[in-house]
Chains A and B, each alone.
Chain A
Amino acid sequence: DTEVTQTPKHLVMGMTNKKSLKCEQHMGHRAMYWYKQKAKKPPELMFVYSYEKLSINESVPSRFSPECPNSSLLNLHLHALQPEDSALYLCASSQDFGLAGAFVSSYNEQFFGPGTRLTVL
């Protein structure tokens, strides 16, 4: 199974709502990523988890809260979002070699999910 799945495909939420995006992979990858993508631009990294621990937080506002409950699952909890947060949110995973292997991890391709199209009203 070389697939990364994401749910939901589309999400419309108000600025006072709380919602969650979900991502799942069963490739045994130990690095998982959240990206935000706006039209005509490359993916913008938000968070990276390595072995279920947060490795990178790209100074993302606290209204986005990531969670990695186990090696196959990655969640992004959303609360009090703004209309400018409307975007395509992509999840990705890759092989990873932990703290000792961050250098080698750079050789590994990332597998992307289909994304969640988020609209904040």
Chain B
Amino acid sequence: ILNVEQSPQSLHVQEGDSTNFTCSFPSSNFYALHWYRWETAKSPEALFVMTLNGDEKKKGRISATLNTKEGYSYLYIKGSQPEDSATYLCARPNAGNNRKLIWGLGTSLAVNP
């Protein structure tokens, strides 16, 4: 994997469903993996920055895991609510200059009431 890839591209779930999506990235030269949530008409908001293989982070109903050896991270949302509707982006720092983030195209989540 040369770039950051996210799947699925979009997801529609019912309120109360739990869901998860994937971020895949090159496993070499790994520094960190960022997750952001971007709601329509708002600013992107950082959810997690993950650095260690096996890391698991949690914020309310949202959690994320990291596997740096195989190059993937999962984002889980438990009991989805309409306010979780957003685009979820992951990004990894560029190997050449770590201040530049290489972004995935995002997973667009729509939670129906």
Contacts and interface: CB of A to CB of B under 8 A. Distances in A.
B99 A115 contact: no
A48 B45 contact: no
How would you classify the secondary structure of chain B's contact residues: helix, strand, loop or mixed?
loop
A50 interface: yes
A42 interface: yes
Contacts of B89: 42
Contacts of A58: 100
Contacts of A113: 43
B101 A107 contact: no
Contact of B99 (A50, A111, A112): A50
Interface in B34-83: 34, 42-46, 49, 51
A43 B105 contact: no
A42 B99 contact: no
Give the contact-size bracket for chain B.
20 to 34
Give the contact-size bracket for chain A.
20 to 34
A114 to B, nearest CB: 5
B100 A41 contact: no
A45 B43 CA distance: 15
Contacts of B104: 42
A74 interface: no
Given A56-B100, A102-B99, A106-B99, A90 B34 contact: no
Query: 10 closest Cβ contacts across the A-B interface?
Result: A106-B93, A109-B46, A106-B98, A42-B103, A112-B43, A106-B31, A112-B44, A48-B99, A106-B32, A102-B98
